[in-house]
Amino acid sequence: MSGDFAYLGLAEAAELIRAKRLSPVEYVTGLLARIERYDGKYNAFIALTPERALTAARAAEAEIAAGRWRGPFHGMPYALKDIIDVEGLATTAHSKILMGNIAGRHAVVTERLEAAGGVLLGKLSTHEFAIGGPSFDLPWPPARNPWSRDHFCGGSSSGSGAGLAAGFFPAALGTDTGGSIRNPASMCGITGMKPTYGRVSRRGVAPLAFSLDHIGPMTRTVRDNALMLQVIAGHDPGDPGSADEPVSDYSATLDQGVRGRRIGVIRHFYTRDVPGHPEQVEALDAAVKLLAEAGAEISEITLPALQDFGACGQIILAAEAYAVHEQWLKERPQDYGARARERLLAGATLRAVDYLQAVRWRLQLRHRVAAAFANIDLAVTASSMDPACRIDDDEALATNYWRQARMPFNVTGQPGLVIPAGYSKGGLPLSLQLVGHPFGEAMLYRVAQFYEDATGWTKHHPPELSD
């Protein structure tokens, strides 16, 4: 089974299930066996829920037999980053602080996935409270990169990225406050979308920084990502940051290509502001050339320096995260891992004026970005500046958090989609990031689908896990 189904895409599996050529029970059973076989090396899961999954798979199969079809997520295995609530299961945030914290109800995104017929396999590793990691002083070990277990798999949605690359499930959810969906997407060679701020409800998800937090889908392919966002997107009046905007049909234009699309290249981010690894820059240049040859109208655009976005975003993140954690940091500091404690305490010394100036600066940055995007449909830039570093290299891990171009689009709230863009000479994934107008996710998917089809990068899988 594992050789046949492990890397089966959500869209393809949905058609097989609907046509009764694939049993949801068979699918889930096979994936659970694969997880049992391999996850001891990669630590994608904090908690596996096999009985729950098999019960849900049987129910999905019975509905199909009775002629009831909920849509392309019906009978589909998925997993959740363990800061997202599932009624009756612990939400630990990978921390001793929340061990035994049983959720009383589903998060809104969980409700939507369950209503669509999803089959939950379990809860996934994260950096502690989506900020402190990778850490070896927590109740659970950090997730490992399936392309090389000695290398970083990205974070903080680390288990989501690792599990997808390992063929454990076709779909997962992550969260992104300063790049935490797009970083593991870059490191693990998968597809990760940070939607527009407010596009997906955050109710029932442990907060990190209220004005920067996003929830988004993580999959192996673009089409699967579009299908998953379709399920979870939409207004939630219970989330004060939720946007009451119409939800697009994200799959409608996937096959329309890039001819005539106006694509801006934010090249200074990865050639001047934070010069990228030569292999990563070469991959980005090749992607831009491919888009141009296919008829896209390419132009370079200039935004404020990457360092400006980083400084602004980090002040806001530090202040808001400290506000969330202040009481626990005062009462239970010893129960945090060292990395999370250090990063969260950075907010303790910030003054109100520092935060307010950063909020004002954010508005100025947003205005300048909007002006730069006025005459383009979307932009291309880097996500990570380097392939994955070793997980035990503290110096390289520290630089990973500033050698990236993800924070700008948490500051602006625009959608950012990261997709695979090849592999380094060492066999580690490279990536690119597409950035759109607010609520312009459909355009990102359209261009990303063209690139995926033209390159075939998503057909590559970690050699150690290919049976």
Q: Note the pLDDT tens digit of each residue in 194-238.
A: 999 999 999 999 999 999 999 999 999 999 999 999 999 999 999
Q: pLDDT tens digits for 322-342?
A: 999 999 999 999 999 999 999
From 3.30.420.10, 2.40.50.140, 3.30.70.870, 3.90.1300.10, which CATH number describes the 2-465 domain? 3.90.1300.10
> Structural domain boundaries of the chain?
2-465
Cis, bond preceding 299 (omega within 30 deg of 0): no
Instruction: Name the 3-class secondary structure at 273.
Output: helix
Residue type, 47: A
Quick check: bond before 142 cis, omega within 30?
no
Q: What is the pLDDT of residue 1?
A: 37
pLDDT above 70: residue 137: yes
Mean pLDDT of 143-155: 97
pLDDT recorded at residue 464: 78
Quote the percentage of the chain above a pLDDT of 70: 99
Q: How many residues comprise the chain?
A: 467
Averaged pLDDT for residues 261-285: 98
Token representation of residue 180: 């935490």
Residue 2 has pLDDT above 60, yes or no: no
Closest-CA residue to 81 (of 208, 239, 224): 208
What pLDDT does residue 134 have?
A: 96
Angle (CA) 463-465-467 rounded to 5° is 95
Gap between the Cα atoms of 196 and 409, Å rounded: 9
Tokens representing 417 are 């989609």
User: Distance (Å, rounded) from C-alpha 127 to C-alpha 135?
Assistant: 7
pLDDT over 90 (residue 401): no
Mean pLDDT, residues 83-97: 98
Q: Which residues contact 374 (CB under 8 A, 6 or more apart)?
A: none
Question: Which SS3 state, helix, strand or coil, does residue 146 take?
Answer: coil
Which pLDDT value is given to residue 346? 96
Residue 161, pLDDT > 90, answer yes
The arithmetic mean of pLDDT across residues 43-49, rounded, is 98
**pLDDT at residue 3 tops 90:** no
Check pLDDT > 60 for residue 261: yes
User: Could you tell me the pLDDT band of residue 9, with boundaries at 50, 70 and 90?
Assistant: very high
Q: How far, in Å, CA of 16 to CA of 24, rounded?
A: 10
Please check the confidence at residue 123 and state whether its pLDDT lies above 70. Answer: yes
pLDDT surpasses 50 at 101: yes
Residue whose token pair is 């010394």: 349
| Average pLDDT estimate for 282-302 | 98
Catalytic residues: 81, 156, 180
Mean pLDDT to the nearest integer, 423-435: 98
Residue 415 has pLDDT above 80, yes or no: yes
Model confidence at 295, pLDDT cuts 50, 70, 90, reads very high
Integer Rg of the chain from CA: 21
pLDDT at 466: 62
Exposed / middle / buried, residue 166 (Cβ in 10 Å: 0-12, 13-18, 19+)? buried
CA 20/CA 4 separation, integer angstroms: 17
CA pair distance 406, 422, nearest whole angstrom: 19
Q: How far apart are CA 31 and CA 39, in angstroms?
A: 11
